[in-house]
Structure formats: C-alpha cells, structure tokens
Amino acid sequence: MAKRNHLIIFILAIGVFGIINTEMGIIGILPSIAGHFDVSVSKAGLMVSLFALIVAVSGPTMPLLFSGINRKKVMLLVLGVFVLGNIVSIFTTNFTIALLARVIPAFFHPIYCSLAFTAAAATVSEEEAPKAVSKVMIGVSAGMVIGVPIASFIASAASLQTAMAFFAVVNALAFIATLLFIPSMPVKERLSYGAQLSVLKKLHTWLSVAAVICINSAIFGVYSYLAEYLKTVTKISPNTISLMLVIYGGANIIGNIAAGKLLTKSAVKSVVAYPFVLGAVYIILFLFGQFTAPMAVITLIWGISAGTGANINQYWMMSAAPEAPDFANGLFLTSANLGTTIGSAAGGLFISELGTQYVVLVGFLSLIAGLVFILLRTYIHSPAKTTF
C-alpha cells in the first residue's frame, strides 16, 4: 500500500511538472516564438500573460465544476487537452491558432493542480497530508525553475518545434502513467456546488485568501527581479547570474521538502513564523546583497524560504475550507496568481521610482499585510475551533 501511494504521488508530481512546465517553459523561448510566427516579442508575450490571467480567473470555477467527477478521468482529460494543445503548437504556422492552443488548456490548468493536491492528501493519513502535498509541490517548483532553461536550451540547440515537443512528451508520459498506474478515484461524498460555495460565507476563508495574496506578493514581488538585482546591485556576470538562478531553483525544491515536515509537526506555528523568517532574509539581502559571496548564501536561503512559502500558502488556504478541498485548492491557485501579479507590478514601480535595491520594500510591506491577516484568522478562529 505504501509503495502504491508513493507511486501515485510521484505520478501526480510528474503531471504537475508537465502542466507548470507548459505554462512557464514558454518564457525561455519567447524570442524564438516571435521569430517563428513573425510577430513582436510583446505580442508573443500574450502566450504568457493570457495563460496566467485565465488560470487566475478559472482557478475557483473549473475545479468546482469538475468536483463531482471521478478524479482519474478528470486528470486524464486535462492531460489529454495539454498534449493536444502542445501538438497543435508544434505544427501550426499561424500565431492565432498557436495562441488558442495555449489559451484552451489554461482553463484546465487549475483542475489538474487542484486535484493533484487533493489526491495526494487523500492517499495518506490526515497528519501526513502536508508531506504528501509537499512532494507534489516539488513538481510545481521544478516546472517553474527547470522548465525555462530546458526549453530555452532545446530551442537553441535544436528548434522551437523540438522545445514544444518536449512539453508534449512530458504531458504524454504523465497521461500514460496516470492511465496505467493511478487507480480509479470516484468522489465518495459529492458536495453540491452550493455547499462548496458556502465556504465563501466564512470570514476565515477571506482572511486566508488575503494572506495568500500578500505572501505570494512578498515572494514574487522580489524574486521576479532577482536577475535584475544580481546584475545592477551585486554586479555579477551573466554566467554567474545563471548559476545563482539555478541555486535558487534547487533551493526551492529543498524548501518544499522542509515545508512538508514543518507543517506536519506544527502547522499553525510554521505559518505564523513564516513572515518573520522571510522578512529576516530580505533584511540580510538589503544589507549584504551587493557582495557576491554573501549573495550566493542569501540566494540559497531565500530559495529555501520561497519554496516553503508555496506549501504554507496551499496549507493555509486548504485548512480554511477542508470540507471543500477541490474548491479550496482552486482558491489557492487564484490567490497565488493574483499575489504574483500584484507583487511583480509593485516591484516594477518601486524599482522605477527608488532603484533596484529597494525592491525588497515590496516584500516587507506584503509580509506585514500577510502577517496581519494570518494573525487575524488565528485570533478569530483558534485551533480549537478550526479544523487544521
């Protein structure tokens, strides 16, 4: 049973990697896309911005609509849509068709990620659920930090179509593994749409949404400009910047693993402590970010902290509405995407007005707001009254 559960979680992590890889990997090949379809880079950027916007909008609604259907069938449907979308992207010469091949799968993105988190938690005991989810979250981190350089390398070494084929192959492998090894997952207790939507009547659901938005804003408001920070503040070479980004990405995965253990041991304390930990990292970054050697250590610790934050956000949202897990995970995805959008936009404003070094202020302000919402929920709904 334990081996089967490990295999299921591994397949879910691969599936999430394939989905996130399709979303984020495109960033590394935007210039190739612009050249291939003879459009501007800004127009090619619609493949990123429209995808993210649709994920944010469909985050709560699509998981809700599919919440009563056998989870294995839904996961196969989503992976199949992504495989077909990637195949169309390989062979089309029309940018509008290529954009549609991105936009349509984006609607299904939140369904798979939501189900993957829910299914992983369901394979183990309630106490071990955070560890199981953290292993699936590794697929998220890997898709975000590995997909971009891999796709960029394949496109430069071979062709744009080969890079697109890489996306298709990963999703196809996840589809086959799901078909062969994931057992049927019928929904045992089907909740009505009204019952699931009723979680929106609870104050701590909205406090959790606000906290996730703020924490993700704190993470991505600064991380989005890491390369720019390394270039203008630390003043290191492009090759060293690439190495630093790899360090950050690897540390993200370490953070996912660490978060699973922390949340299993002491969930609420870990959530409350998180803004203080990341805030301390940003203080050190502000004071010593101009020095190369300390910056390497800071990047490592920062990456671990950011990876931990992804799990903490998912747990905090999920624990607010455990009676509607699919809908709660959809809310998490929407809140996280909104936080990323707000944080990166605010970071750009701070850089243009104050300079790159002061982008950490976005992190501080977001963390303060996030801490307020976390403490409010903790105070109003004590652990004795709230399911954790």
Verify that 175 and 197 share a domain, yes or no: no
- pLDDT computed for residue 382 by the predictor: 58
Verify that 24 and 111 share a domain, yes or no: yes
Residues 187 and 63 sit within 8 Å (Cβ to Cβ): no
| 29 within domain boundaries | yes
| 387 within domain boundaries | no
Q: Which among 330, 67, 351, 45 has a CA at the least distance from the CA of 226?
A: 351
Verify that 176 and 197 share a domain, yes or no: no
Per-residue confidence in pLDDT tens, the chain, 388 aa? 677 888 999 999 999 999 998 988 887 788 889 899 999 887 888 887 788 888 888 988 898 889 889 999 999 999 999 999 999 999 999 999 999 999 999 999 999 998 998 899 888 888 888 888 888 988 888 887 777 778 878 888 889 999 999 999 999 999 999 999 999 998 877 767 787 788 888 898 999 999 999 999 999 888 878 878 898 899 988 788 878 888 888 898 899 889 988 998 888 999 999 999 999 999 999 999 999 999 999 999 999 999 899 899 999 998 888 888 888 888 888 898 888 888 888 888 898 899 989 999 999 999 999 999 999 999 887 544 444 3
Crossing angle between the packed helical segments 2-24 and 95-122, to the nearest 10 degrees: 160
Q: How many residues does the chain have?
A: 388
Verify that 201 and 246 share a domain, yes or no: yes
Tokens matching residue 130: 């955070």
Verify that 166 and 120 share a domain, yes or no: yes
Verify that 172 and 198 share a domain, yes or no: no
| 261 within domain boundaries | yes
Sign of CA dihedral 33, 34, 38, 42: positive
Q: How many C-beta atoms lie closer than 10 Å to residue 84's C-beta?
A: 15
Verify that 157 and 282 share a domain, yes or no: no
Cβ neighbours of residue 373 under 8 Å, at least 6 residues apart? 207, 208, 210, 211, 214
Q: Tell me the C-alpha to C-alpha distance, in Å, between residue 373 and each of 152, 263, 316.
A: 39, 19, 11
- The CATH code of the domain that includes 259 is 1.20.1250.20
- pLDDT computed for residue 386 by the predictor: 42
Residues 211 and 370 sit within 8 Å (Cβ to Cβ): yes
| 359 within domain boundaries | yes
Crossing angle between the packed helical segments 95-122 and 71-91, to the nearest 10 degrees: 160
Verify that 316 and 251 share a domain, yes or no: yes
| 386 within domain boundaries | no
Verify that 64 and 125 share a domain, yes or no: yes
Residue type, 109: H
Sign of CA dihedral 55, 60, 65, 69: positive
Rounded to whole angstroms, how far apart are CA atoms 146 and 143? 6
Verify that 100 and 213 share a domain, yes or no: no
Rounded to whole angstroms, how far apart are CA atoms 338 and 335? 5
**Structural domain harbouring 64:** 2-181
Identify the domain boundary among 181, 203, 231: 181
Identify the domain boundary among 151, 181, 211: 181
CA dihedral 319, 320, 324, 327 (to 10 degrees): -100
Rounded to whole angstroms, how far apart are CA atoms 98 and 348? 29
- pLDDT computed for residue 151 by the predictor: 85
What is the tens place of the pLDDT at every residue in 338-378? 888 888 888 888 988 999 899 999 999 999 999 999 999 99
Q: Which among 151, 141, 145, 140 has a CA at the least distance from the CA of 28?
A: 151
Verify that 141 and 276 share a domain, yes or no: no
| 104 within domain boundaries | yes
Rounded to whole angstroms, how far apart are CA atoms 374 and 204? 9
- pLDDT computed for residue 1 by the predictor: 64
Q: What is the per-residue DSSP string for 202-225?
A: SHHHHHHHHHHHHHHHHHHHHHTT
First to last CA, the chain: 25
How many domains are there within the chain? 2
| 87 within domain boundaries | yes
Verify that 237 and 172 share a domain, yes or no: no
Residues 28 and 302 sit within 8 Å (Cβ to Cβ): no
Residues 150 and 25 sit within 8 Å (Cβ to Cβ): yes
Tokens matching residue 183: 């057992």
Residues 281 and 302 sit within 8 Å (Cβ to Cβ): yes
Identify the domain boundary among 159, 181, 203: 181
| 388 within domain boundaries | no
Tokens matching residue 89: 């992207």
52 burial via Cβ count (<10 Å: 0-12, 13-18, 19+): middle
What is the tens place of the pLDDT at every residue in 148-202? 778 878 888 889 999 999 999 999 999 999 999 999 998 877 767 787 788 888 8
